[in-house]
Chains A and B, each alone.
Chain A
Amino acid sequence: MKRRSRFAFAACAIAGALTLAACSSGGGTSSSGGSSGGSSASSSNAAFNAGVTKVVNPSTKKGGTLTFALSSTPDSFDPGNTYYAWTFDMTRLWATPLVTYKSCPGACGNTLVPGIATSLGQVSDNGLVWTYHLKSGLKFEDGTPVTSADVKYAVERTYDRSVLANGPTYFPVLLADPKYPGPYKDKTGNLTSITTPDATTIQFHLQSPFPDFNYVASLPQTAPVPQAKDTGSNYQLHPLSTGPYMFQSYQVNKQATLVPNPNWTPNEDPQVSQLASKVVIDLNVNAADLDNRLLAGDVDIDAQGIGVQAATRAKILSNPNLEKDADASPGNREWFTYINTKVAPLNNVSCRQAVEYAANKTDLQTAWGGPYAGGQIATTLLLPGMGGYSSFDLYNAKSDPTGDLTAAKAALAKCGHPTGFTVGASYRSDRPAETAAIQALQASLARVGIQLQLHGYPSGSYYTDFAGAPNYVHQHNLGILMGGWSPDWPDGYGMMDELINGNTIAPSGNTNIGELNDPAINNMFTQAANPSLSETQRNALYGEIDKAAMAQAVILPNVYATNLLYRNPAVTNVYTMTPFGMYNYGVMGVSS
């Protein structure tokens, strides 16, 4: 290039860049950029937050393709090996458990109703035996009849954590022989605490009474699995369907396609529908791209159900045309930070309490999305509205929301580290809000000399390989670990047991990441299981457990989550389902 023209080129380029900078305004919300959120001709009752209390766009119209998208990958599509609220919601499309939740908006959705069982379980007088009868005429997608042996096998296979590492651990804890190694290792005997007197009856024999057992039966782990067709850790590639849809194809990490299951009838589970003629789940879609496609109508629903990104939130809240298709839904979730009790010096409760005092709760709330799309500052484990909840505040989050540094320094002195200490911290690097939250925590703890060394991990394997593997946690000195919890079922046991009961600590897929093993707390859980207690007495116990755990400072609550969800106006029968804290994926269809 000749010298003179090169000079001119350079000058033009610089001028161009400066002009571009000058054109930008700080706000960017005045023009909504052409996306009007689709025509609203057919959705007559769409309004902001309508989906929280009623069914939006009700319709029985069949046909069309329902498209879900996810910004990462599922931990598993195997109903026996998953532990996320969105998969509990989604797997009902191909796996029907013994009992399930009623499909209706609001608090109504917390009611249990029969799934493949004819009714909720009948319990024996001593509270130790629960009996369920299966409906007649149930079939798998290939026409083979479903029997009680299939339900028994479905539960048995979840015992082998070396093959199926995810999933809740209620069955080994509750049933009478917890040492059963699973059918992959034990080919001869089988789980004696589940009996099948005939092909349509199944009985669970418990170690001690557990009044909440119907909730356990509603877990996807009780959806039948035929032993002959079980391929262990590969079963997730094509679980045999007992729901309205079955897998047509599944490219791992890319896309799953489901088509209607011809061997399903609504009688098998009236809580779900078979409206769309195809269901597509796109995986590993970039989070910001997902939001754009959601607003443009290419994607119907964000399957993860934890809300839109910051930019989309701004677009939606400042444009009434988009706002009418959004819901600020109670997320049935708390975002929090685990504080591990085995990693020094956090093995001393005063050091943990220093973390609780010093954290800047307002900054954490802003990182999660602010009071509107993030949630209210949390001070307890129980969610507001749950039995036993009371709004106690041990660490002055309400009086000193930016952190009580005086109390923090006093606690540090008490545990022998007056100038602070250094410890590792983990978070999921593909979750922007969590990344922002751990940095906010890092900055606030640095004020009292607590230095966090951050380690980011992918969410798909966070619980199996990293934060949820106690050996890994100890080896890498991870004392602070980001996490969240959506209760397995909406009561104190569902919210707290897997988080703080010493009996649930597992070598992989661990959710008691604080590794709390306090005999007093474990004991209170046992007491709460006494079948002779009334609802009020049980809830009072849960309240006590909440306070005791918070005093141990194994969890630093961040926010009671609300999610800003967006629904494509073309989707029918949209409403938030309270036990899952996101839209009910089992009843949706597509119009147009």
Chain B
Amino acid sequence: MPIEGRSLGQIAWRRLRKDRVAMAGGVIIILLILVALVGPHLVQNPNAYNSNLINPTFSRPYGPWGGISLAHPLGVEPVTGRDMLARVVVGAQYSLLIGFLATVLAVVIGVFFGIIAGYFGGWIDALIARAMDVFLAFPLLVFAIALIGVIPNSAWGLSGNTLRVSLLVFVIGFFAWPYMGRIVRGQVLSLREREFVDAARSIGARGPYILFRELLPNLVAPILVYSTLLIPTNILFEAALDYLGVGLIPPTPSWGQMLSNAVSNGFYYIDPMYMIIPGLAIFITVMAFNLFGDGLRDALDPRGR
């Protein structure tokens, strides 16, 4: 019987399938996406107040565990009495979307400039490296405050939260790309001296071919790892912009906004569940991406078994 040769993709997939932990991470990611897509239609209104469930003297939910009950399986929010399960599920949409898209933007820009800077060196490298320094040193808060005064209700055909999400993805991604850029640039600087690059050149390969067909596959590992680290950072970044009034428009829930509200307004003290629940959500998301990313890297590693 002839033995069929396997492609790189098939080999990687087989390796990945055997990695239980990575698959678990992948399953959680798929579940999260499902929750974000379908969940909002299944839960109650995340913005409906339930003032009768709140003790007005302390602004805290009646009952332990943040007011958990059959009607509110994850309890209610302090001050407002809004259902936590609904807010977490609807928040998943926004947090995941912004975290993911901003990371994609940062990775695309960062990888592109990082590779070019690392490979070509010289004045191109100097220019891009300085640009990265500028972005890293940029007073982001000042920029965000300046944005407040000029954001219109609608622009470029978008309005309301759609506009806000786009702006947030742009701002966060645009300021996060140097982190990826620096790493990629460093990797490329070491890789370009390797023999396989010389070999490719010797058979007549030009710059773009070497960049994107030879170097890029070897960069997948660090890119994946840092991407999975960047996602939660960007989720929390959105919460910080929220506090300045540039984030999602209240009463839109997001995990970062709930966490930030719980921590910086001290609700963690009177109702710890208000911090723990969104915190757990972010934690699970990070873990899932991390484990899956780890497994993916192992599976794609050309030197792996």
Contact = CB atoms under 8 A, between A and B. Distances in A.
Contacts of A287: 264-265
B233 to A, nearest CB: 19
Contacts, number: 153
Contacts of B105: none
Nearest to A11: B21
Interface in B68-119: 75, 78-80
Contact of A317 (B21, B57, B66, B160): B57
A396 interface: no
A366 B54 contact: yes
Interface string A140-156: 00000000000000000
Given A10-B21, A429-B243, A314 B270 contact: yes
A372 B59 CA distance: 11
B215 interface: no
A317 B56 CA distance: 13
B266 A458 contact: no
Contacts of B280: 17, 21
Contacts of B174: none
Given A310-B59, A363-B49, A28 B80 contact: no
A446 B280 CA distance: 31
A28 B49 contact: no
Interface stretch (A238-246, A404-412, A433-441, A484-492): A433-441
A384 interface: no
A251 interface: no
A20 B59 CA distance: 24
Nearest to B25: A10
A291 interface: yes
Interface stretch (A80-88, A319-327, A449-457, A512-520): A449-457
A371 interface: yes
A369 B59 contact: yes
Contact of A10 (B65, B79, B266, B291): B291
Contacts of B58: 29, 310, 313-314, 317, 370
Interface stretch (B196-204, B205-213, B271-279): B271-279
A31 to B, nearest CB: 11
B296 to A, nearest CB: 13
Contacts of B185: none
Interface string A294-334: 00000000000000011111110100000000000000000
B181 interface: no
B250 interface: yes
Interface stretch (B6-14, B126-134, B145-153): B145-153
Interface residues of B, number: 54
B124 interface: no
Given A3-B19, A26-B273, A288 B245 contact: no
A455 to B, nearest CB: 7
B153 A453 contact: yes
A371 B56 contact: yes
A26 B64 contact: yes
Interface in B242-269: 243-245, 249-251, 261, 263-269
B56 A370 contact: yes
Interface string A24-49: 11111100000000000000000000
B79 A436 contact: yes
Contact of B57 (A14, A370, A435, A454): A370
A369 B264 CA distance: 16
Interface in A340-382: 360, 362-363, 365-367, 369-373
B265 A311 contact: yes
Given A26-B64, A369-B59, A430-B245, 14 more contacts: A1-B294, A3-B20, A3-B21, A17-B283, A310-B59, A310-B266, A311-B268, A363-B51, A363-B80, A429-B243, A432-B261, A432-B265, A439-B250, A457-B148
Interface of B: 19-21, 24, 47-49, 51, 54, 56-61, 63-67, 75, 78-80, 145, 148-149, 152-153, 160, 243-245, 249-251, 261, 263-273, 276, 280, 283, 287, 291, 294
Interface of A: 1, 3, 6-7, 10, 13-14, 17, 20-21, 24-29, 286-288, 291, 309-315, 317, 360, 362-363, 365-367, 369-373, 402, 424, 429-430, 432, 435-436, 438-440, 442-444, 446, 453-458, 465-466, 476-477
Closest 9 CB pairs of A and B: A311-B266, A456-B245, A26-B64, A429-B245, A311-B269, A370-B56, A24-B272, A26-B65, A432-B265
20 contacts: A20-B276, A25-B64, A26-B65, A26-B272, A310-B267, A311-B269, A312-B266, A313-B59, A317-B57, A360-B49, A360-B51, A362-B51, A363-B51, A366-B59, A367-B80, A429-B243, A435-B250, A444-B49, A453-B249, A457-B148
